[in-house]
Amino acid sequence: MLLTNGRVYTLDPRTPAVDTLVLRDGHVTFAGRRGDVNVPASERVIDLGGRAVLPGLVDAHGHLMYLARGRLTLNAAGATSEDAIARMVGAAAANAAPGAWLGGRKDIVPLLTMVGGEVAYRRAASDTDLMEDL
């Protein structure tokens, strides 16, 4: 496919913008001036009409607050039973300052369902029941 008659930004300091791209199998095979490339007559041609083309931008980012919160709260992901979770809570409580709150991940009910089956889910169905169990 030939994209031409546009302003194609390459992010290459040697050639920051061109007017034509050739794409084959999902890859750019040519970026330059229209007069410098010959394509078969059967090639699909798209006239960009002067519009801009930017490289694909990927928004890869992290939610640092959630990462920090996760490091500061109880993570029961490795637990294999309710008793194991209770031991983790007990160990965290023993290391906490008097009166401090213990935080945990809000996905503990699905975790209990996964490790304990339906009975664990029913027992953890309300925060009160879960707190009594732990």
In the chain the domains, ranked by start, together with CATH numbers, are 2-53 (2.30.40.10), 74-133 (no CATH)
Which amino acid, residue 116?
G
DSSP line for 81-122: SHHHHHHHHHHHHHHSPTTPPPPB-TTHHHHHHHHHHHHHHH
The pLDDT value recorded for residue 104 is: 72
**Whose CA is closest to 133, among 82, 87, 90?**
82
pTM of the model: 0.44
- pLDDT over 50 at 18, yes or no: yes
The pLDDT value recorded for residue 58 is: 73
Interacting residues of 77 by C-beta distance below 8 A, sequence separation 6+: 105, 111
The pLDDT value recorded for residue 114 is: 41
- pLDDT over 50 at 35, yes or no: yes
The pLDDT value recorded for residue 57 is: 73
For all residues of the chain together, what is the average pLDDT? 78
Angle at 78 between CA 93 and CA 76, to 5 degrees: 40
| Nearest-10 Cα torsion for 126, 129, 131, 134 | -130
DSSP line for 52-64: EE----------H
- Spatial contact of 37 and 30, defined as CB atoms under 8 Å apart: yes
Q: Which pLDDT tens digit goes with each residue over 61-119?
A: 778 887 787 777 777 777 788 888 888 888 888 888 888 777 776 554 444 444 444 43
